[in-house]
């Protein structure tokens, strides 16, 4: 059997990191799924979904690492073509990816003790981000 739900999160013009874990867990529990697989996906090419310990120090470390990998102030061919200044956000999104899969076991997401699911919005302007949760199981 399968279930589907969409969530919405607002961002700023910075690198926003939203903790999705509570919304996802509550939804899986409401659906009463015992065993299965959950896919978390964000449509678009300037955001990503991953897991991390949602703790201020780690979040700052992640932002700094992403800045080193794909600096905001570097020249990007995308910016030259489109003039929107968000080439860096497309590269960051491609590196981290738009989705993850999480096992559902005994009615809950099988996450580690300090592991949370996050949406990272990289764009250079405020956006409303959609996150899709699709679960298959029993």
At 47, which CATH number? 2.60.120.460
pLDDT tens across 70-87, in order? 999 999 999 999 999 999
pLDDT tens across 11-36, in order? 999 899 999 999 999 999 999 999 99
The number of folded domains in the chain is: 1
Q: Are the C-beta atoms of residues 115 and 53 closer than 8 Å to each other?
A: yes
Q: Is the pTM of this model over 0.85?
A: yes
Structure-token pair, residue 13: 């013009």
82 is in which domain, residue-wise? Answer: 2-137
Kind and range of the H or E element at 120?
A: strand 116-121
Q: Are the C-beta atoms of residues 110 and 35 closer than 8 Å to each other?
A: no
| 49 DSSP β-pair partners | 119
């Amino acid at each position: 059997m399968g279930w589907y739900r969409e969530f919405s999160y607002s961002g700023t013009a910075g690198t926003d990191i939203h903790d999705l874990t509570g919304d996802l867990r509550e939804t899986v529990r409401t659906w009463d799924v015992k065993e299965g697989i959950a896919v978390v996906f964000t449509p678009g090419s300037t955001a990503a979904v991953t897991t991390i310990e949602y703790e201020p120090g780690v979040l700052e470390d992640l932002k700094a690492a992403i800045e080193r990998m794909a600096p905001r102030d570097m020249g990007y061919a995308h910016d030259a073509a489109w003039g929107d200044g968000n080439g860096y956000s497309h590269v960051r999104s491609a590196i981290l990816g738009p989705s993850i899969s999480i096992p559902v076991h005994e009615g809950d997401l099988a996450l580690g003790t300090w592991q949370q699911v996050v949406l990272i919005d990289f764009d250079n302007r405020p956006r409303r981000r959609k996150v899709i949760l699709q679960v298959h199981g029993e």
